[in-house]
A and B are shown apart, each in its own frame.
Chain A
Amino acid sequence: MRLAGGESLGADLVINAAGPEGARVAALARAVVPLERRVGTFVVSRPVPVGLRHVVHAGDFHLRPDGGSRLAFHSLRFDGQVEAEKPPSLEHPVCAEALRLATPFLPVVGRVGVESFRLGVRPMPADSHPIVGFDPEIAGLYHILTHSGITLAAILGLLVTKELAGGEVPELEPYRPARFRQPG
């Protein structure tokens, strides 16, 4: 692999865990992975004097503690209202909407306001399931790409290591990159 600064790294194997950059990284090796970039957002409150511990799902509105007495709010509806990959602003209507949606469950939230509005870019495989395994075309290139990276990181780390150490991992069979190959 050659890095942008000109340095070369020799390797027996390259793992593509580049998240939303996964398709671009694959393309550097002339490999193709069907992966979309999809914007995701969430809103974080200022410190609030409530002792929430669970992740709370009220329909498609989600709230959870975020450390430092802050709360985080998320809804897929927010994602649709955000312009792709522009730096988010606290003036964005989504911030006020998050407070409005949270207030029936935690009234104090309405009084403290929003501290930050965060934007991330999800790597979304074409069938929305993880892409894990050797690239079917390029030897030595191994992909681990999923939009559920937080939940799945722990098991994928173990299963990938098991596979690369010569073990059988039938659990990964539904997620092989080769499933996207066109017949013929």
Chain B
Amino acid sequence: MYLGRAGIKCLVLERSGPAAEASGGNAGFIRYAHGLETGTVEFVKASLALLFELAEEGEAFDLVREGYLLVAPSWERLEHLRMLHGRARAAGLKVELLGAAELRALEPALGEAVTGGLCLADAGHVDPVRTTQAFVNRARRLGVEFRFGVSVDRILIDGGRVTGVEAGAKFYPAPNVVLAAGAWSKGLAAGCGLSLPVEPARGQMLATVSLPPLTRRVIRGPEAGLRQNPAGEVIIGSTVEFVGFDKGVDPATIKSLFEKGRSDGPQIERGRRRPDLGRFAAHDPGLSPHHRPCAKSQGPLAGHGPQPDRDVVRAGHGAGHRRAHQPGPDFPAYRGLQTGTLRRSRMRLISNRLAGTKIVVIGAGAVGAVAAYRLAQAGAEVTIVERRYPGGGTSGNSFAWLNSFRKFPRHYHQLNVRSIRTYPDLALGLGDEWLHPDGAIHWAWPPEPAAVEALRQDVRRLREWGYQVEVADPEQVRRELEPDLLIPPEVEEVYVVPGEGWLG
């Protein structure tokens, strides 16, 4: 659409029809929350501004712009929302932190478990299929040609330059190719020698039968979100499951989504009819499981492919609104948590449940200091006793890596993963100059077959556990991540783990 507006001759090739995959089969939330979580809020703001502009020009998105409500069923979650609140304010968004009573006044149907929430006023939801169709229609009016039912087999390269694409037996010449094939982008990129860190992720959703009006907002708990569409259906979803291209529907997951939606959101069983789980069916085009493209750090990828130099690589997770945005920041492959976006903010007491409790902590290493800090936030009177000085023992003399890579069994791995993900919150209260979550790189060394296989097995197991470990080729790592690092030529496989790192 924007290419058409810029007067660029543009042909869109689509294997099936508009919004046939992730763009159609998603919950339709338009939100800043993901941007706040991942440090890409300015990008999201710019994209939503374009989307709202299009809606004001009369595009039929079924846009409901009445707020995005993040609810917290626990004080830990509420603390997280406080952190997001700080970031949202710093980004200039209209945002309000609400206590349980205020929240229930706003959304009387909310479940009992909710302790507080965060309302982002300028967000909401769209009908994703109508939205995609509107983009297609508008692009057509701007002279863009669409060919549906055309499945691209290859991107053709000659002499380091894109020459076009091949679909069936037909050649479509083009000086530039925009790769926006979502979850299928990686395979197409691989066909022309590019390694694109995008994986398919299955998303399952649930739709109820039409219910009386419950809410105009998106209500999002920690595990699932919901919206009610103009037809009265409550859409609950969705999951993110790294199961390859499997599109199976799992009844247990659907039931669990229903339970999550019921506990975090409006009490949907108050409707005249109970939600009908049978409404969910794989043949329902709007609600079938879909494959969203998940990039590393779940951020979008946009920009010129590193090689060859004329094609444009673009894929993202969150196409519901990012689709409306013109090319974004530099190719952010392999970026872990983005500490540069963290801001200092004053942490408030997370609760007063330990008020009046006197606690002595022996040891001012990392463990004792964080425990003391959190206990004090909960109202305890804490004294730390330390033989030397803060970090004067093991903590100050540690290699200090943040790592979940070889932590077994699974529960221990998960504890480590959770901890690493908790660090940005901690940094928010303490400054972040000590936190370096820039990722880790692994290779077998010396690269003997047994060592290579052992590392592969570790990676396989970690991936089975849902841990993000990416395979990269050494040249790509050197080019994009660590230009000063020499990876010996006998190393064939390198693994990149975003989010791990070290503490200073």
Contact = CB atoms under 8 A, between A and B. Distances in A.
Interface of A: 1, 3, 9-21, 25, 40, 42, 50-59, 61-62, 64-67, 72, 74, 104-107, 118-123, 129-130, 144-146, 148-158, 160-162, 164-167, 171, 174
Closest 7 CB pairs of A and B: A120-B397, A17-B368, A157-B370, A59-B445, A155-B419, A153-B366, A17-B363
Given A54-B439, A67-B504, A153-B370, A19 B484 contact: no
A150 B438 contact: no
Nearest to B360: A11
A152 B368 CA distance: 11
Contact of B487 (A3, A52, A105): A105
B484 A50 contact: yes
Contacts of B74: 167
A150 B398 contact: yes
B359 A52 contact: no
A158 B414 CA distance: 15
Interface in B323-375: 350-351, 353-354, 357-363, 365-375
Q: What is the interface of chain B mostly: helix, strand, loop, or mixed?
A: mixed
Given A150-B400, A162-B76, A15 B436 contact: no
B6 interface: no
Given A58-B443, A161-B371, 14 more contacts: A11-B360, A13-B358, A21-B387, A51-B482, A54-B441, A55-B439, A62-B399, A64-B401, A105-B485, A144-B371, A149-B395, A150-B395, A164-B380, A171-B411
B228 to A, nearest CB: 32
B383 A149 contact: no
B411 A72 contact: no
Interface in B387-431: 387, 393-405, 407, 411-412, 414-416, 418-420, 422-423, 425-426
B188 interface: no
A52 B502 CA distance: 12
Contact of B360 (A13, A107, A162, A167): A13
A170 to B, nearest CB: 10
Contacts of B496: 54
A120 B393 contact: yes
Contact of B446 (A59, A120, A122): A59
B185 interface: no
Contacts of B357: 12-13, 164
Contacts of A10: 358
Contacts of A157: 367, 370-371, 373-375, 426
A156 B371 contact: yes
B362 A150 contact: no
A17 B367 CA distance: 6
Given A144-B368, A165-B353, A165-B378, A53 B360 contact: no
A156 B404 CA distance: 15
Given A153-B369, A158-B76, A171 B415 contact: yes
B444 A59 contact: yes
B445 A58 contact: yes
A166 B385 CA distance: 24
B92 interface: no
A66 B485 CA distance: 16
Given A14-B360, A52-B482, A122 B418 contact: no
Given A15-B359, A18-B363, A106 B484 contact: yes
Given A107-B486, A144-B368, A161-B371, A54 B481 contact: yes
Given A149-B367, A151-B401, A55 B441 contact: yes
A72 B76 CA distance: 35
Contacts of B416: 148, 151-152
A19 B443 contact: no
A129 B486 CA distance: 35
B180 interface: no
A166 B357 CA distance: 13
A119 B399 CA distance: 10
A14 B362 contact: yes
B58 interface: no
A31 to B, nearest CB: 12
B440 A53 contact: no
B483 interface: yes
A27 to B, nearest CB: 12
A160 B371 contact: yes
Contacts of B140: none
A42 B399 contact: yes
B157 interface: no
Nearest to A28: B362
A74 B399 CA distance: 7
A59 B451 contact: yes
B255 interface: no
Contacts of A145: 367
A25 B361 CA distance: 11
B428 to A, nearest CB: 12
B442 interface: yes
8 contacts: A15-B359, A17-B363, A67-B504, A164-B357, A165-B351, A165-B378, A174-B411, A174-B412
A74 B393 CA distance: 18
B175 interface: no
A17 B362 contact: yes
B362 A25 contact: yes
Most chain A beta carbons < 10 A, residue from B76, B361, B362: B362
A8 to B, nearest CB: 11
A151 B483 CA distance: 27
Interface string B482-502: 111111100000001000111
Contacts of B484: 50-52, 106
A149 B397 contact: no
A104 B363 contact: no
Contact of A149 (B366, B411, B414, B425): B366
